[in-house]
Amino acid sequence: MATIVDVKDLSIVFQTEKGVVPAVNHVDFCVNQGESVGIVGESGSGKSTIAFGLFDSVPSPGKIESGEITYNGNLSIRDLEEEKKRQFYWSKISMVFQAAQNTLNPILRIQNQIEDIAKAHRMDKKKAVQKAIELFETMYLDAKRVLKAYPHELSGGMKQRVSIALALLLEPKLVVLDEPTTALDVISQAAVLQILDRVRKEKGISLVFITHDISVIAEIVDRVIVMYAGKIVETGPVQKIITNPSHPYTQGLIASIPPLVGDLQSTHGLQGQPADTLHLPQGCAFASRCRHVLARCHEKQPPTIQIDHQSEVACYLYEEGRSDSA
Amino acid sequence: MKTTWKILRRRPSRIVGLILLIFFTLMAIFGPLLYPNMTAVNSQQIYAAPSIHHLLGTDYAGRDIWVQIVQGAQNVMFVAALGALFTIVIGTVVGLAAGYLGSIVDSILMRITDIFLTVPSITLTIILAVTIGLTNYFVMAAILSFASWGGLARAIRSMVMSVRERSFVEVSLGLGLSRARILMLDVLPNLLPYIIVHLMLALTSTVYAEVGLFYLGVVPFKADNWGVMLNYATGGSGAMYSTQSIMFLLSPILAIVLLQTGIVLTSDAVNEIVDPRLRTAG
Amino acid sequence: MNKLVKRLGSSFLIIVIVTTMTFFLIRLMPGNPYQVMYHQFLMQGMNAQQAQDQVRSILNVSPNQPVWQQFIQWFTDLLHGSLGTSIQETGVPVTELIFNALPWTLVTVSIGLLLSFVIGIVLGVISATKRNSWLSGMIDNIGSIAHAVPAYVTAVALLYLFNVVWHIFPSSGAYGIMDTPGLNWSFISSFLYHMALPVSTYVLTGFGSWELAMKSTTITVINDDFMMAARLRGLTRQTQMRYLGWNSILPLFTGFMLSLGGMFGGSIFIEGTYSFPGIGALFATSIGSRDYPVMEGCFLLTTTTIILANVIADMFYTKLDPRIVD
């Protein structure tokens, strides 16, 4: 399988008044063609920042400190000049933004906004609108009405679906979806995810879902990347992560999903507060909340350990020949 | 205190502004002590050039210009401060009452505010000043603030309405605190930054209107004021058209420009001190 | 439509209230011209009745008539389209004086407002996009100082520099004495020449508030989600600037119309300084000579203009901003 995007040693920092916050800390991952990947983590884990990192467009005061982001094996986005990058955006990689309701120009009809995208990417305006109508219809939107509407005339859920349709408009190779279903009710949530899954299979595009709630995307992602305090703590196939998580953090995350049947009390989620990214410890950031914490967890960052050919975890518990006990 | 200094230092212009403002304030406070008497007419010294004896030279009647500027400062500064204060108090009280009491009080107060907002304020101020007369500082300040509180009242009202929705006010109500207490303890402190910023704005516009009234020459010249000097310099004295008398024209102009500059540059810093959202790294 | 009628109704009410109040204020001014003339006639040896009749025949008002009776007379005249006759220029209808003065003020104020708006907008955008740079700080400071320096000070300074020192522009009047107003080049060029200083004064004292307002709306819009989305959608730089510009300018439009009121206030000082024959100068002289009817007429006119501008601004704004529905 061809690799769509390869991220190597990506670090993103935020310069704040209180100090430098490492939002994304030496992260490596890749996304293959046609693959659907979920990036999961608490707020502050750096997962949304990665989305902007993929565009090499982290909003100020954030800044990419180091790393390489390579598309199709040879195109390094960080070396792209402005105009090339502009053309690359949306035609090759697009995004469904968190708070998608606010990502439409409030004083322009949806149709004009579609035409603006078409114009920017040298696509025939009529064709673009036609394509949008098709997409709207698959999302159960009244296409005629939506085209003529101003954003404020649409409900939050409708705007979210418009935003998803816009992301698919130019049939990019990769679509990043940052909490794409937050504004939707459970029924539309399922419908939208199904549509995305179908489009992916039909067009062979890759999807990157960014979410704090693994249960939402469990059915449509192939692989999951779990982040904690700016670092990847575990990756693996979705089935493995859900049924047999390795990292104590992932275990807590999975355990905190309310079961469909049974008592709510039986869930035992995570203890403590999310990591303070401004004052990261020298060792593992999760150590203070970890139930299996070891002495050296506080001293040194755990290495990334290959569990099987598809799964990796960054935890001392899985080190070969570990000597001391929990 | 430390942040204040940091904010001031970020832009040197702010320090310049603060120095100017302090300079004119000191002038207003100590000026009358320094020069208690009107400067004497001296026909030998008409339009004398600046010298040790006459820092800014003399006017058409041979009077010292610097002394006039210093003596005028008290009138200008005191009335401006008082007028701005009146504006703020009226605007805040009306805004708080309308926003917090709501219903009929709100609609009546806002109708009145609307009227004051639509009336051409300078025109109304001039008419009032001529009719009532600028008899003393308090009357002057009252007249100057009469037509200028509408904008603040409206802004305060809408802010009160949004603050009222916030949870801590609801909690206070739930705890059985009286409305007046909540207004004073919870609502007002939240609006304070905005009110302080508006106070600086009101200062500049009061100086504008006050000096302008005297410059126009429609009110009797009972007080020493830079506007009176400017009126004479551009009018009867003919100082405008002779290079020899430039200091008489330039002095009141510079005094007004520097005072306004001082207020504006200081308020630039005040803005940032009271509104932390404006603070940015770097 | 219904709303407009209601709006005009309440505007009319405000105008009536305000002009009534000012009528009484004005008639209470010290130095009542009717009384002054009456006493002059008494001094000339007339008896009370003769003097009263004489004043009445000249000024159409009995000197000892109570103010409320004067008001009723003035108001009845007003309903018949008359604003009375001037005291200073005895017998000349106030409407004639006003309509002679109005065009000069309207033209200079409009040009001044438009220029200061455009300059302010441009500087505001520059200051917002170069936020936190020395340039931005300088633009803001210059803008707010220029705004805070009273119009009469600016006017006197310009007059001194460009008339007394450099002899570039004339010191008074609206056109040369050899010209007759009309559509001839000689008049128009002379008019432009004469209005250079007044218009410059409006611009210098006016642009600052637009600059600051535009800066603040622009900063808000720049940080809006839809602008970030526009960039990642790869919209052309032009389109992005269009989005930014319109969304930032829209909130200023109401203020644009409302500032007419402030400009009329400024015209009292500016036209006074340049002896420019407009409404402001007319008002200033009418106060000096206690020309009650002219003062009342000027006040009525400016108030009406401002209130109507208000109504028009609101109507205009509903058309411009799709988010406002009436």
Q: What CATH number is given to the structural domain containing C135?
A: 1.10.3720.10
Whether B279 and A17 lie within 8 Å, measured CB to CB: yes
Average pLDDT estimate for A153-168: 90
Taking phi first (over 0 means left), then psi (-120 to 50 degrees means alpha), and beta for anything else, what does residue A275 get? beta
Would you say C146 and C138 are in contact if contact means Cβ atoms under 8 Å apart? no
Predicted confidence band of residue A290 (pLDDT cuts 50, 70, 90):
confident
Whole-number pLDDT of residue B281: 37
On whether both C74 and C214 belong to a single domain, the answer is no
The answer, for C250 touching chain A at a CB cutoff of 8 Å, is yes
On whether both C69 and C111 belong to a single domain, the answer is no
**CB-CB neighbors (< 8 A) of C230 in chain A:** 105
Place of tokens 């109708």: B111
Asked, for residue C7, whether it belongs to a domain, the answer is: no
**CB-CB neighbors (< 8 A) of B249 in chain C:** 156, 160
List, as ranges, residues 161-190 from C with C-beta within 8 Å of A.
none
C14, C156, C265 member nearest B230 (Cβ): C156
Average pLDDT estimate for A268-285: 77
| Structure tokens given for C83 | 């604003």
Q: What is the pLDDT of residues C168-192, one digit of tens each?
A: 888 888 787 777 777 788 888 888 8
Chains in contact with B via at least 3 Cβ–Cβ pairs below 8 Å: A, C
Alpha-carbon distance of B185 to C40, in angstroms, equals 63
Whole-number pLDDT of residue A323: 46
The CA radius of gyration of chain C, in Å to the nearest whole number, is 24
CA B143 to chain centre: 13
Alpha-carbon distance of B242 to A158, in angstroms, equals 73
Closest listed residue to residue A314, CA positions, set A236, A243, A255, A208:
A236
Whole-number pLDDT of residue C83: 86
On whether both C70 and C130 belong to a single domain, the answer is no
Alpha-carbon distance of C322 to B65, in angstroms, equals 58
Distance from CA of B194 to the nearest CA of A (A): 23
Any idea which of A221-225, A283-287, B204-208, C153-157 has the lowest mean pLDDT? A283-287
Predicted confidence band of residue A59 (pLDDT cuts 50, 70, 90):
confident
CA A83 to chain centre: 26
Any idea which of A25-29, B159-163, C302-306 has the lowest mean pLDDT? B159-163
Whether A117 and C233 lie within 8 Å, measured CB to CB: yes
To test the contact with chain C by mutation, choose from B9, B113, B122 the residue with the greatest count of C C-beta atoms within 10 A, namely B122
Residue A325 has pLDDT above 50, yes or no: no
Average pLDDT estimate for A213-220: 85
Distance from CA of B4 to the nearest CA of A (A): 15
On whether both C108 and C215 belong to a single domain, the answer is yes
Last residue in a domain, options C82, C104, C122: C82
What pTM does this model have?
0.84
Alpha helices in chain C (DSSP H): 2-27, 33-43, 48-59, 67-79, 94-129, 134-148, 151-159, 185-222, 225-232, 237-249, 252-274, 279-288, 292-320
Average pLDDT estimate for A210-237: 90
CA A288 to chain centre: 26
Whole-number pLDDT of residue B1: 67
Whether C148 and B264 lie within 8 Å, measured CB to CB: yes
On whether both C124 and C234 belong to a single domain, the answer is yes
**CB-CB neighbors (< 8 A) of B282 in chain A:** 15
Alpha helices in chain A (DSSP H): 47-54, 82-88, 110-120, 125-138, 143-148, 156-168, 186-203, 214-217, 238-243, 248-255
Q: Which residue has the higher pLDDT, C323 or C234?
A: C234
Taking phi first (over 0 means left), then psi (-120 to 50 degrees means alpha), and beta for anything else, what does residue A99 get? left
What CATH architecture is A3-92+172-259+266-318? Answer: 3-Layer(aba) Sandwich (3.40)
Whole-number pLDDT of residue A326: 39
The answer, for B33 touching chain A at a CB cutoff of 8 Å, is no
Predicted confidence band of residue C158 (pLDDT cuts 50, 70, 90):
very high
On whether both C114 and C237 belong to a single domain, the answer is yes
Q: CB contacts < 8 Å between B and C, how many?
A: 123
Below-50 pLDDT ranges, chain B: 280-282
Alpha-carbon distance of B31 to B77, in angstroms, equals 11
Average pLDDT estimate for C148-167: 90
On whether both C188 and C75 belong to a single domain, the answer is no
A88, A105, A120 member nearest C226 (Cβ): A105
Distance from CA of A99 to the nearest CA of C (A): 8
The CA radius of gyration of chain A, in Å to the nearest whole number, is 21
Asked, for residue C87, whether it belongs to a domain, the answer is: no
Whole-number pLDDT of residue B268: 84
Structural domains of chain B, count: 1
Whole-number pLDDT of residue B172: 67
Average pLDDT estimate for A208-226: 89
Chain A residues near any Cβ of chain C (below 8 Å): 55, 57, 59, 86-91, 94-95, 97, 99, 102-108, 116-117, 119-121, 150, 152, 166
Place of tokens 């109508």: A133
The answer, for B6 touching chain A at a CB cutoff of 8 Å, is no
Segments forming the whole domain that contains residue C68? 31-82
Pairing of strands A36-40, A206-211: parallel
Whether C299 and B120 lie within 8 Å, measured CB to CB: yes
Long-range contacts of A293-297 (CB under 8 A, 24+ apart): A293/A326, A294/A324, A294/A326, A295/A324, A296/A324
To test the contact with chain B by mutation, choose from C209, C222, C287 the residue with the greatest count of B C-beta atoms within 10 A, namely C287
Asked, for residue B16, whether it belongs to a domain, the answer is: no
Chains in contact with C via at least 3 Cβ–Cβ pairs below 8 Å: A, B
Whether C153 and B268 lie within 8 Å, measured CB to CB: no
Alpha helices in chain B (DSSP H): 2-10, 12-34, 65-101, 103-118, 121-132, 137-146, 150-165, 167-174, 179-182, 188-216, 226-234, 246-274
Whole-number pLDDT of residue A22: 87
CATH at residue B69: 1.10.3720.10
Whether A102 and C224 lie within 8 Å, measured CB to CB: yes
- Mean pLDDT rounded to a whole number for chain C: 87
Whole-number pLDDT of residue A322: 53
Asked, for residue C207, whether it belongs to a domain, the answer is: yes
Alpha-carbon distance of A287 to A275, in angstroms, equals 10
| Structure tokens given for B216 | 């126009």
Alpha-carbon distance of A100 to B68, in angstroms, equals 64
Average pLDDT estimate for C246-263: 83
Whether C322 and A152 lie within 8 Å, measured CB to CB: yes
| Structure tokens given for A150 | 């101003």
Segments forming the whole domain that contains residue B152? 23-41+50-281
Q: What is the pLDDT of residues C120-145, one digit of tens each?
A: 999 999 999 888 788 988 899 999 99
**CB-CB neighbors (< 8 A) of C237 in chain A:** 86
Q: Which residue has the higher pLDDT, C57 or C301?
A: C301
Report the 10 Å Cβ neighbour count for A274: 15
Residue B68 sits at φ, ψ, to 5 deg, of -65, -40
Place of tokens 């429609």: B218
The answer, for B180 touching chain A at a CB cutoff of 8 Å, is no
Last residue in a domain, options C82, C110, C144: C82
Asked, for residue B14, whether it belongs to a domain, the answer is: no
Strand order across the beta sheet in which A62-71 lies? A19-32, A3-16, A62-71, A75-76
Closest listed residue to residue A207, CA positions, set A168, A233, A234:
A168
On whether both C68 and C123 belong to a single domain, the answer is no
Alpha-carbon distance of B151 to B114, in angstroms, equals 9
Q: Which residue of C has its CA nearest to B268?
A: C141
Whole-number pLDDT of residue A324: 45
Closest listed residue to residue A50, CA positions, set A64, A61, A35, A36:
A64
Residue A297 has pLDDT above 50, yes or no: yes
SS3 A206: strand
Q: Which residue of B has its CA nearest to C280?
A: B123
Residue C59 has pLDDT above 80, yes or no: no
**CB-CB neighbors (< 8 A) of C131 in chain B:** 280
Based on the number of CB atoms within 10 Å of its own CB, is B256 exposed (0-12), middle (13-18) or buried (19 or more)?
Answer: buried
Whole-number pLDDT of residue C118: 95
Closest listed residue to residue C150, CA positions, set C191, C206, C69, C195:
C206
Q: What is the pLDDT of residues A126-135, one digit of tens each?
A: 999 999 999 9
Structural domains of chain C, count: 2
Distance from CA of B279 to the nearest CA of A (A): 9
Place of tokens 């935890």: A315
On whether both C73 and C117 belong to a single domain, the answer is no
On whether both C193 and C259 belong to a single domain, the answer is yes
Would you say A311 and A235 are in contact if contact means Cβ atoms under 8 Å apart? yes
What percent of chain C clears pLDDT 90, i.e. is strictly above it?
38
To test the contact with chain C by mutation, choose from A103, A148, A153, A154 the residue with the greatest count of C C-beta atoms within 10 A, namely A103
Last residue in a domain, options C56, C82, C108: C82
Whole-number pLDDT of residue A134: 92
On whether both C39 and C105 belong to a single domain, the answer is no
